[in-house]
Each structure stands twice: as structure tokens, then as C-alpha cells.
Amino acid sequence: MLISVKGSQQDAHGEEDTIELFTHGRRYAKNGVHYITYQESEISGMEGASTLLKVYADYVILVRRGGVDQRQEFRVGQRSRSRYVTPYGTMEISIQTTRLAITRVEDNSQVTGIHIEYELEIDGQWQSANTLAVLIQGDKKNGH
């Protein structure tokens, strides 16, 4: 299935940087949790990494493995801290999720989109206001 991933960040000077990635991935559900997985590319600066989104009723966990190592929780109104491990070193990441919208098909059997807005701090310093939008443009057969 085709997955569109659009990320943007706005720094303290109001400069906005946006990337958009179209990639193939897969979606499945297990024990009431929806999973979306896809490969990153050089466009995102994380070539060789895979991203897994675990979508719960009201929060999302992002896990990246490969070229980078990261686990981040997105829960509205809560701060989430994690380590972002790259080949160039490790950073302490802190995010404050300000908005989370999960789009599902009517019978709730599949997640079709995720929209997350959050504030990012690296090593205790505010970096940017960010948006992550994931749209699943999968085929209509069997939801795969």
C-alpha cells in the first residue's frame, strides 16, 4: 500500500521546512492496536531506517530502527522524553503533543490517517513546532 508522510517544522525565526515522502508500507491490527510500518528514505534523512507507528485509541507510539534508533510517544497534553540515537551521536529528545487526530474507516477496523502537532526540544532547548501527517492510500482489497 502507498503511504504519504509529510513532516514540517517551524523554528524560532518562523522558518518552515517541509518534507514529503511517498513510500510503500503495510498496515495491520492486532489486539485492538493498529500498526503502520514503512521504510524511510534519503528524503527524510533517515535512509535505511524503518518506522513503525503503533496507533491506540487516543495516542500513538513511533518506533524507528535502522540508521537511527528512536521511540517517541504522542499523547495530547503530555510531555514525552526519549533518546534519539544516530550514527553521529545521541540526543535527548522531549516532545509536547498539542494535537492528535486519528482518522479511521467507519467500522473502526482500519486507520487511514494520523495528524500530530508537537513542540520539540533537543537536549533541553526548544527547537521547533512540528507537524507529522501520515495518510494511508492503500488499495481497497482486504485493507492490505
Instruction: List, for residues 122-142, the tens digit of each pLDDT value.
Output: 989 999 999 999 999 865 444
Residue 69 DSSP one-character state: B
Looking at residues 103-124, what average pLDDT do you find? 90
Cell numbers placing 47? 535512509
Buried b (16+ CB within 10 A) or exposed e, 67-94: bbebbbbbbeeeebebebeeeeeeeebb
pLDDT of residue 42: 64
Angle at 105 between CA 143 and CA 54, to 5 degrees: 70
Say how far apart CA 48 and CA 94 lie, in whole Å.
Answer: 24
Do you know the residue count of the chain?
144
The type of residue at 123 is: D
Q: Where are the domains of the chain?
A: 2-136
Is domain 2-136 classified as CATH 2.40.10.10? Answer: no
Cell numbers placing 43? 528524503
* Residue that wins the pLDDT comparison between 96 and 64: 96
pLDDT tens digits along 73-93: 999 999 999 998 888 889 999
pLDDT tens digits along 47-72: 678 999 999 999 999 998 987 788 99
